[in-house]
Structure 1
Amino acid sequence: MIGISIVSVIVLLGVLIFAHELGHFLMAKRVGVGVLKFSLGFGPRILGRKIGETEYLLSLIPLGGYVKLLGESPGEELAEEDRKRSFTTQTVWKRIAIVAAGPVFNILLALTIFTLVNMIGLPVMTAEVGMAHPGSAAMESGIRAGDRITAIGGKSVTKWNEISEIVSKSNGKPLLITVQRDGLPREITVTPKAMKTRNLFGEEVESFKVGISPSPHTVVQRLNPLSAFGEGIRQTWMISKLTVISIVKMFQGVISPKTMGGPIFIAQIAGAQVKEGIVPFLLFMALLSINLAILNLLPIPVLDGGHLLFYGIEALTGHEVNLRWREMAQQVGFAMLILLMIFVFMLDIERLNIKFINDFIRTFTG
């Protein structure tokens, strides 16, 4: 299990990092900026080859990567013929494009994975009723276990999530539900009831329900390329929105920071997903790719979002942010990133449930 987890997390992070750095690399090439290094990983070089002006590297620590651009560092001495190809001499919009391309490629990777998985096929819950709960609106209206819902509120349905979505958006208005029972169609009117429930973040919310649960039966849904792409866009948007909301909820204190995970936690999940099959592993990769993109867009210095913040200010004011201020912000951002890495690593160790390490950590954290 440990071996599978290690290999799977290396593959997982390798693909995510490659996609991210490839975005920076291709956009830099597109706008005419020289690229000196393209590295998967940090630290000492394991393998490397120079093609043209670019040195392609595989480095020891597989927790990140980087693209070194010509003239990237302020004050870097350049030959006169290289100045036009220097990163710092480009217009602010070209610099924004280069920096933003990394997260954009992670989003595109997720979209590609979702599209592929939708073509391979995903198990979905059918529209068959598994249970009508006692005392519920559905039971009172005559819906029974085994009924197959074919339409609700005037809309045809084939999947359970379509039913849930229509009911939750009903605002308590009566719904005409068409079911197949014993091979015959029946029409039943049900009025959803407002109920207190917990959302994904553990918050108590009001939701409309009719009191039915799905049967355990699933079918594999395979989509044609165009439909798979459209569904992929919807899934990418849904996960992106959920990720942003989760970050906001964490700052609001609704979600505990202890829900975060580091490399060890990711490796454990990746290993478990690989054992389930290629599709669960690919879905986990898509989820992480979106997370990587959005986290990189946070306006924290040293992250892509921090650079975009400075370039955005420059675009609005027409002046670069003072170099000294930028350097100070980078140092603060780097310190924040290191502290965050230490925090999630300690959480990972806690999850391993190794007693002597837990005791050691609690000695210092109380």
Structure 2
Amino acid sequence: MSTVFWAIVVLGALIFVHELGHFLVARMMGVRVLVFSLGFGPRIAGWSRGAGETEYRLSLIPLGGYVKMLGENEEEDEEKDQSGHPVVVADAPDSFANQGVWSRIAIVFAGPAFNFLFALMVLVMAFMLGVGELLPVVGSVSRGMPAEQAGLRVGDRVVAINEQPVTRWEVLSQTIKRSEGVPLRFTVERPEGPILLTIQPRVQEMTNIFGETVRTWLVGIGPGSGTEFVTYGFFSALVKGVEHAWRMTDMIVTGVWKIITRSIPADQIGGPLMIAEMAGKTAEQGASSMLFFMALISINLGILNLLPIPVLDGGHLLFFLIEAVKGSPLSEQVRLQANRAGMFLLIVLMAWAMKNDLTRIFSDG
């Protein structure tokens, strides 16, 4: 039950943020928003302040949301003048279709942009609340590797490398990986007192998070279980948040590209069931873990929406950029066919993701 609850919280928050971006920028541009909906499909509940005002709606299928603007789909919008005669929606001053191409680009881009901003915001919150960080204490030493040969032991705490202070395992690990094989001077703290060890990293083949074999510099040590709970002030948290948001973005973009180019198998694609399972697990680990997970999914949502697939924000942006270059919009027939193809592709991807989710669930069971 908690898994379902946290899945609704995470997906609901991210959908709301995404659609809020479209909504606020559309209103800022003077475009009338007809519907702001969380969810697709049949309306469950809704309210508005009066005739002509935005209807805020909760819909049945909680796998997305939408903002419907006047003139976004002229066939569905009905406008009449004061005499009751129909008017062309595209000519209305508060119509989406009546905006300049760069205004329309700004409105569409605002959704993914808000997902990135939201991710940064929750990462800053996570670091301000506090995170557990691994201490630079050696938990394992591999046989035959440079660390063992140099005399490094389990329980040793590395306090400096090349006279540069080391307070976190992450700093220790990154320093070794970036060494390019140059010998490193370790200052190691032991009960009997500090000692100096010179260790030369060795290049090794290992598997990365995408299942690929990569070459990296290692000395043959693993972290212990010791952690320290660290809280950050706002500006330090902002710097850490930007760093983590960039890493998450780079990892997701790389992963998407590798799936597209078939460098990694498509069975790595996950759907809503996997998100629900991960939401439940991270919620059990505390608020900071949950915020990191929300940031990751928010960036993922922003990137996926920027893919140039018709019916996604990226598809609309592609159409508008073509219009900006050629000076006129694509024909209605071209857009219609492209949207049909895009919808078909999304249905196939969703079905594939659900298949992968179910396969994981039953294979784990």
Report the TM-score when normalising by structure 1: 0.91
User: In structure 1, what is the equivalent of residue 194 of structure 2?
Assistant: 185
CA contact 2:127–2:288 (8 Å) conserved in 1: no
User: In structure 2, what is the equivalent of residue 49 of structure 1?
Assistant: 47
Equivalences for residues 343-362 of structure 1 within 5 A: 343-353=352-362
Deviation, structure 1 residue 254 = 2.5
CA contact 2:136–2:167 (8 Å) conserved in 1: yes
Whole-angstrom CA distance in 1 between matches of 2:236 and 2:344? 45
Whole-angstrom CA distance in 2 between matches of 1:38 and 1:13? 16
Whole-angstrom CA distance in 1 between matches of 2:355 and 2:147? 48
Equivalences for residues 257-336 of structure 1 within 5 A: 257-336=266-345
SS in 2 for 1:84: coil
Whole-angstrom CA distance in 1 between matches of 2:278 and 2:345? 26
User: In structure 1, what is the equivalent of residue 13 of structure 2?
Assistant: 15
Partner AA of 2:214 in structure 1: V
Partner AA of 1:71 in structure 2: G
Deviation, structure 1 residue 183 = 6.2
Partner AA of 1:41 in structure 2: G
Deviation, structure 1 residue 57 = 0.8
Q: Which sections of structure 1, spanning at least 5 residues, go unmatched? A: 359-366
User: In structure 1, what is the equivalent of residue 63 of structure 2?
Assistant: 63
Whole-angstrom CA distance in 2 between matches of 1:220 and 1:135? 34
SS in 2 for 1:51: coil
CA contact 2:186–2:196 (8 Å) conserved in 1: yes
Tell me whether 199-208 or 71-80 shows the greater mean CA deviation: 71-80
Equivalences for residues 22-37 of structure 1 within 5 A: 22-37=20-35
SS in 2 for 1:85: coil
Counting aligned pairs with the same residue, the percent is 45
CA contact 1:297–1:305 (8 Å) conserved in 2: yes
What does the per-residue CA deviation read over 1:217-253, in whole Å, with 9 as the maximum and x for residues that have no partner? 1111211111111111111111111001001111222
Deviation, structure 1 residue 77 = 5.6
User: In structure 2, what is the equivalent of residue 98 of structure 1?
Assistant: 107
CA contact 1:137–1:210 (8 Å) conserved in 2: yes
Deviation, structure 1 residue 95 = 0.6
CA contact 1:153–1:166 (8 Å) conserved in 2: no
CA contact 2:14–2:298 (8 Å) conserved in 1: yes
Deviation, structure 1 residue 194 = 0.9
What does the per-residue CA deviation read over 1:188-219, in whole Å, with 9 as the maximum and x for residues that have no partner? 22111111111111111111111122221111
What does the per-residue CA deviation read over 1:144-189, in whole Å, with 9 as the maximum and x for residues that have no partner? 2222112213432111111111111111111122222226333222
Q: Which sections of structure 2, spanning at least 5 residues, go unmatched? A: 82-86
Deviation, structure 1 residue 354 = 8.7
Report the TM-score when normalising by structure 2: 0.91
User: In structure 2, what is the equivalent of residue 138 of structure 1?
Assistant: 147
Whole-angstrom CA distance in 2 between matches of 1:154 and 1:217? 23
- How many residues get paired? 354
Whole-angstrom CA distance in 2 between matches of 1:206 and 1:353? 35
CA contact 1:261–1:347 (8 Å) conserved in 2: yes
Equivalences for residues 174-253 of structure 1 within 5 A: 174-182=183-191, 184-253=193-262
Compute the RMSD of aligned alpha carbons: 2.0
CA contact 1:28–1:34 (8 Å) conserved in 2: yes
Change (3 A) 1:183 1:321: farther
Whole-angstrom CA distance in 2 between matches of 1:6 and 1:149? 43
Partner AA of 2:21 in structure 1: G
Whole-angstrom CA distance in 1 between matches of 2:336 and 2:255? 30
User: In structure 1, what is the equivalent of residue 135 of structure 2?
Assistant: 126
What does the per-residue CA deviation read over 1:3-31, in whole Å, with 9 as the maximum and x for residues that have no partner? 22222211111101000000000010111
Runs of 4+ in structure 1 deviating by more than 4 angstroms, as ranges, are 74-82
